[in-house]
Amino acid sequence: MTKTGRKLVRADYADPKPTRVARYFLGKFLCVRAPDGYAEGMITETEAYGGPEDKASHACGNRRTPRTEIMFAPGGVSYVYLCYGLHHLFNIITGPIDSPEAVLIRAVKITAGQEIVRRRRPGVAEKHWASGPGRVSAALAIGMHHYGADLGGETIWVEDRGVKLPAREVKRTPRIGVEYAGKIWAAKPWRFVWAGGEKPAGVTARARPGSARR
């Protein structure tokens, strides 16, 4: 049996600085219980999206639409949207209420539910199961039904299992696919990638029941 992690609570999502939260999420575990079973992955790549001044954000200029309204909720809920009509992208809303900040989960390493993910991703090599934002959702069965989901619930949540990623193994780069935001915002180094070995210290798999434009 493996050790159960601590499920993140609202206070963990409340930091008003999205870049700090995006770095914090590296090494945490995204857990999803779906009708066909449970699967999880350690978060290995994230992107931060700031408040209304961030021209790469859907909520730039405090734009409130039926799609973006959830971005103004207090941190700790999910924002899922369909990109190019093909891929569901999963974001975690962070910060205080009425401050539209979010972190896009760009990649995870599957650590439990491998057989289930293999069925969901037929013909795809394991290293590519969840190696991009659309692939994360495909591997973990995340869809529009998770839009607005409370990440403190029992369907989709994030856990801290004490994994520590050395600073030297974390790369910080500009975000991907946000050239439309203009030179200044496209150059912001708000993408965080774990560039370490295959399995950092403290990572344990667990058996439990059941670059894209924003």
pLDDT in tens, 147-193: 999 999 999 999 999 999 999 999 999 999 999 999 999 999 999 99
**Of 172, 173, 178, 190, nearest to 214 (Cα)?**
178
Instruction: Return the pLDDT at 86.
Output: 81
Tokens of 31: 């857990």
Tell me if residue 192 falls in helix, strand or coil: strand
pLDDT value, residue 1: 30
Residues 6+ apart with CB under 8 A from 42: 27, 28, 29, 30, 108, 109, 111, 163, 203
- For the chain, the domains span 6-192
> What are the pLDDT tens digits along the chain (214 aa)?
344 789 999 999 999 999 999 999 999 999 999 999 999 999 999 999 998 999 999 999 999 999 999 999 999 999 999 987 788 999 999 999 999 999 999 999 999 999 999 999 999 999 999 999 999 999 999 999 999 999 999 999 999 999 999 999 999 999 999 999 999 999 999 999 998 744 444 444 343 332 343 4
Q: Are 140 and 149 in contact (CB under 8 A)?
A: no
Per-residue H/E/C for 31-56: EEEECCEEEEEEEEEEEEECCCCCCC
Residue type present at position 158: V
Whether 131 and 211 have beta carbons less than 8 Å apart is answered as no
- H or E element at residue 119: helix 114-120
CATH superfamily entry for domain 6-192: Methylpurine-DNA glycosylase (MPG) (3.10.300.10)
Degrees to nearest 5, angle at CA 210 with 108 and 93:
45
